[in-house]
């Protein structure tokens, strides 16, 4: 059994204002393999994608995600253009993304299986931040 290769799953996200939707996607991703690696978007990457910095710093988000029992390893994702490099570096067998990204990462099917999960309905970080502001 020791020589049997682990199925390595990789996913990415900002994971700001951590909520049930985040937990569900990570648990579902972990269930697809034996070892879950999570790329947590850097503060600067989040600013470039969403036009704002996260509420929690990248170090805080890295610690929060890394403390989950379903997560085996975390790293800071610096660039969307480096996805292929990350998949190779972490030897991913499966890439998991939310279905709001459907089709965007199909090109990586040559090096790993690509799976898109449906997002948890009515739960989003943006909506939570707006609710808190009100």
Give me the residue label for tokens 């991913």.
Answer: 92
* 86-93: average pLDDT: 98
Q: 3-state DSSP call for residue 45?
A: helix
Q: How far is CA 83 from the centre of its chain?
A: 11
The boundaries of the domain holding residue 61 are 8-133
Residue-wise pLDDT for 18-54, tens only, equals 888 899 999 999 999 999 999 999 999 999 988 989 9
* 32 domain residue, yes or no: yes
How confident is residue 1, by pLDDT bands cut at 50, 70 and 90? very low
Which domain CATH number covers 69? 3.40.50.620
* 93 domain residue, yes or no: yes
């Amino acid at each position: 059994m020791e020589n049997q290769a682990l199925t390595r799953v990789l996913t990415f996200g900002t994971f700001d204002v951590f909520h049930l939707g985040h937990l569900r996607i990570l648990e579902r991703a972990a269930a697809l393999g034996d070892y879950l690696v999570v790329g947590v978007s850097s503060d600067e990457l989040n600013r470039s994608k969403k036009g704002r910095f996260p509420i929690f710093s990248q170090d805080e988000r890295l610690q929060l995600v890394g403390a989950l029992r379903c997560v085996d390893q975390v790293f800071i994702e610096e660039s969307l253009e480096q996805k292929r490099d990350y998949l190779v570096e972490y030897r991913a067998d499966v890439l998991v993304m939310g279905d709001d990204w459907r089709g965007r990462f199909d090109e990586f099917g040559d090096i790993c299986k690509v799976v898109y999960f449906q997002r948890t309905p009515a739960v989003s970080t943006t909506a939570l931040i707006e609710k808190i502001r009100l």
